[in-house]
Amino acid sequence: MKIALLGAESTGKSELARALCERLSQLALPVVRVDEHLRDWCQREQRTPERHEQVDIAHTQMQHILQAPAQHVVVADTTPLMTAVYSQMVFNDHSLDAPAIEWQQQFDITLLTGLDLPWVADGLQRDGAHVREPVDQKIRQLLSTANVRYQVVYGLGEQRLDNALFCIAREAAKHPSELAQRLHQALARNETLPKWTGPCETCGDGECEHRLFTRLVT
């Protein structure tokens, strides 16, 4: 079962991926984390990729995800869809859109990290707080084009983790696989998770989403 974490820079994807894996491991679920290939690439090359290098980064990211052990919950700290978004932003290149959309459809659950965290510099990979909203919008546009259902995760610290687990539990319940049902049942037994009280599960308005998850943790 594959869980994708998407989001603009400095929205806590890597921290959330680590926290999710730790919590799922504590619940005796088989889980593996696939880290962001771009981060390793930039650290190795000491620069950001050029246009012609984007396709290999996208392919390698997905290859690592597909090579994760079978019958595990796979938590992917980003997917090729993020490479496609930055190819649009930096190079005005849409050539990765189609393969990224096709790959994204292979994930069982897609979480989009919200913009409520403060922006923090992180070496070569981050351009500034001003790019987060345009990136967030492009992610949503591609997900909409791919007809991929997604959940937006807000909250600080444990709240963000609990909101993500809540979304995962709700989505896992809809999947027929044995692993998905084990995941749902394990999370459903966690009494600390917030209960759904919102009027709309598919609202795409950021402010509405933020109010919704604020109510979940109060």
At 35-65, the pLDDT tens digits run 999 999 999 999 999 999 999 999 999 999 9
**Closest C-alpha to 8, from 146, 129, 101:** 129
Q: What is the pLDDT of residue 145?
A: 92
User: What 3-state class would DSSP assign to 127?
Assistant: coil
Return the pLDDT at 189: 80
- The predicted pLDDT at position 118 comes to 85
Q: What is the pTM of this model?
A: 0.85
* Phi, psi values for residue 6, rounded to 5°: -120, 160
Which residues of the chain register pLDDT less than 70?
122-128, 190-218
**CA pair distance 211, 131, nearest whole angstrom:** 23
Interior CA angle at 70 toward 75 and 108, to 5°? Answer: 45
Residues linked to residue 2 through DSSP beta bridges, in sequence order: 74
The pLDDT assigned to 210 comes to: 47
